Structure 1
Amino acid sequence: MTAPATQSGEADLVQVSLSALEHYAYCPRQCGLILLEDAFTDDAATVRGTLLHQRVDTPGNRGRGDVRTLHALPVWHDGYGLTGICDTVEVHADGRILPVEHKSGRYHPGGPAEVQAAAQAICLEEMFHRPVPEAAIYSAADRRRHSVTVDDALRSRVLELTDAVRSLLTTDRLPSPVADSRCRRCSMATGCMPRLLAGTHRYRQALTDLYLLDDLQDSDA
């Protein structure tokens, strides 16, 4: 598994939110628009997600049989510079800890939601000092849970994406548009303008001019 990227100590790490990992895994440009330009556009799917989380994100501690359920639990990992909130965390009588991420849409095996759920498990391991080898994703679309094995490959993916998001935050450079099938499901496609910008000569020339301007400003400073 990839080691955490540290420079001169944990305190120097730029904090990365767990939700940003999912956005970047889906589309780096979408993540960049949200983090760098504070841009977000709702559509029917995102509104459904917001309403779902309003039902599950009320902080609290509830018991059901041998399971204690924590809602809207803040989590973090100082070594990796991760921070976020778990929708639901189940603490079982045998000591097993299970983060449950709630999604309004359908579950896609190997999709971005698995990255977010695995990152929650990694944070919970750090906080509770015990292994969390499994997470779950609850899909409101099919009304069932889907188990996610937090193996070494998924952990490495979480850390690689953490480094990528941190680089995005520190360089302030918006990733290029992708203009593929993901755009049809993205609420931000109108503002992103992927079909207009991706791969066109005008877009490439604009990027070149922008970076030349940045270099000239740096040399004059």
Structure 2
Amino acid sequence: MPISAIEHWAYCPRQAILIWQEGYFESSTDTVRGDLAHSAVDRGGTLTGRDGARVWRSLPVRSDRLGTHGICDTVYRGTEGLIPVEHKSGKYTPGGPADLQVAAQVLCLREMFTEPVPHGEIFAGASRRRYAVAIDDALAAEVSDIVEQLRDRIADTRLPPPLIADRRCVRCSLRPGCMPETASREHTDLFAPRPVRDHDE
């Protein structure tokens, strides 16, 4: 499973399956803004940071134990060990889907390298700050659980029903194809979502 699908699933299961099973995607102002914000790290390569730390950009990672793979925007090798940094163009919401994305990156790096990977970080473009994300057993278990949910849902081949339209739908670029307005309240009992959280493209 792609690591980015973990974040999509945590935000909205239907969104994740539309992208990763149906191959449906639409660009919007937010997705283009995110692409532009990622342009520097997407070039790849290595460099030395101002503090002398080695930095990898667009580093491929994988975990055979989890059965997932993806790309770390940047990985810093400092005195603490390796620290992946996920870049987001918007604001950071503690406990949001981005935490699960960077947690999966940490778990991949811990499996791939013998060096310590103490935590992950999220760089929020809105505040121009990095936020540390501690990866405890509970968060690691949630990542593993989501990967299994994704695997089961994709194997099932059924598209999750649309949820009752809420604030997640307002700026979602997939809204035209998702059609959340067609949802009925019984759908929420069949496929309960996670609590609503902010999402950065």
TM-score w.r.t. length of structure 2: 0.87
Match in the other structure for 2:104? 119
Report SS of the residue matched to 1:37: coil
Measure the CA separation in 2 of the matches of 1:30 and 1:199.
18
Q: How does 1:11-160 map to 2 (within 5 A)?
A: 16-64=1-49, 65-92=51-78, 94=79, 96-160=81-145
1:133–1:151 CA contact under 8 A, matched in 2: no
Counterpart of 1:91, as a letter, is R
Change in Cα spacing, 1:95 to 1:106, as seen in structure 2 (3 Å) is: closer
**Identity level (%):** 47
Counterpart of 1:198, as a letter, is S
Structure 2: gaps of 5 or more residues: 188-201
Instruction: Name the structure, 1 or 2, with higher relative contact order (CA <8 Å, separation 6+).
Output: 2
Measure the CA separation in 2 of the matches of 1:45 and 1:141.
13
**Could you tell me which of 181, 184, 204 is aligned with 2:170?**
184
Counterpart of 2:119, as a letter, is E
Counterpart of 1:181, as a letter, is R
Counterpart of 1:25, as a letter, is A
Measure the CA separation in 2 of the matches of 1:173 and 1:76.
27
Shift of the alpha carbon at 1:133?
A: 2.9
Match in the other structure for 2:196? none
Structure 1: gaps of 5 or more residues: 1-15, 204-221
Shift of the alpha carbon at 1:32?
A: 0.7
Shift of the alpha carbon at 1:198?
A: 3.4
Count of residues in correspondence between the two structures: 187
2:80–2:118 CA contact under 8 A, matched in 1: no
1:101–1:136 CA contact under 8 A, matched in 2: yes
Shift of the alpha carbon at 1:185?
A: 3.0
1:32–1:174 CA contact under 8 A, matched in 2: yes
Indicate yes or no: 2:185 matched with 1:199. yes
Match in the other structure for 1:8? none
Counterpart of 2:100, as a letter, is V
Question: Between Structure 1 and Structure 2, which shows a larger proportion of helix residues?
Answer: 1
TM-score w.r.t. length of structure 1: 0.80
Over 4 Å off, 4+ runs: none
RMSD of the alignment, in Å?
A: 1.8
